[in-house]
Amino acid sequence: MKIVIASDHRGFAMKEHIWTIVSELGHECIDFGCFDEQPVDYPEMAYAAAVAVVNHEAERAILICSSGMGMCIAANKVKGIRAVTCYDQLNARVSRTHNNANVLCLPGDLLGSDELRKMVDVWLNTEFSGGRHERRLKKIELIEEGRDPRMKSQKDEKMD
């Protein structure tokens, strides 16, 4: 699987560590920056990585900033992205099984090396469970289209 990895300056050190983890797990990494610890604005990297995922240049992305939240907010502005901020293995697993998350956002300032390795492994190796969760993702797509998911038409009913 191709995985985009990107960070701001606060996540740079962790990005380098994640590159190693992802490579050891047998995946191809694509580095979207940043490339040192000089201050940069995280929305630029989040946008570039998210666009690469929706354009099928990579299957997923892992983004790192100090809290993970800024990257998550920015990435989720791109239609088709389901970015999540995770702090433990359970969050990582559920983000895949229930939400089919395609972008993992991590806090560069808050995770230790052992937990990071386990989270990345779980997130990359957990499949979407589908079922009732598929219906919910379709409602998220309606929201992305500017439609109210509570007001499904006859046409929308056929999506189930």
Active site positions, annotated: 65, 98
Q: Strands 60-65 and 103-107: what pairing?
A: parallel
The Cα–Cα gap between 5 and 134 comes to: 26
- Give dist(CA 1, CA 86) in Å, integer: 20
Residue of 125, 97, 157 lying closest to 82 (CA atoms):
97
